[in-house]
Amino acid sequence: MQNTTLIILGHGSKSKNAIEDFNYIVKLVADKNEFKNVAGAHMEIADPSLQDVVKDLYEKGERDFVIFPYFLYNGMHIRFDIPGILEKLTAEYEGISFDFTAPIGQDPIMADLIVNKVSTHIAAK
């Protein structure tokens, strides 16, 4: 994975706190040093957009991207909007390729996360 350029794609928000939370996750992933590059992008509302991040990295010589949607569900953005954006970017930039992963979705680790968060909350009372 050391040759992988990863773009973590969030929804975007007007909330400064939401953007800070998203950027925190992007930094945690980057700090693991598993990928050549890690960048965060947003579908809408916030900057930078996916298009802007791809353009910037492409101009720096990157051609192969893994797009991880930091979304819980397989909704409209995942099924239609993001694939449409990637199709346009593929047509726009010569030699570019995208590997679009599944969202967080139905990962069993989510049950453990929920139990842990609720247990921590209850214990703090």
> What DSSP line would sit under 10-70, residue for residue?
E---S-HHHHHHHHHHHHHHHHTT-SSEEEEEESSSSSSBHHHHHHHHHHTT--EEEEEE-
User: What are the tens digits of pLDDT across the range 33-85?
Assistant: 999 999 999 999 999 999 999 999 999 999 999 999 999 999 999 999 999 99
DSSP code at position 108? T
Q: Could you read off the pLDDT of 77-106 as tens digits, one per residue? A: 999 999 999 999 999 999 999 999 999 999
- Residue 7 is inside which H or E element, if any? strand 5-10
Structure tokens at 120: 């921590």
Rounded Cα gap, residues 79 and 110, in angstroms: 21
Question: What is the fold of 5-123?
Answer: Rossmann fold (3.40.50)
pTM above 0.85, yes or no: yes
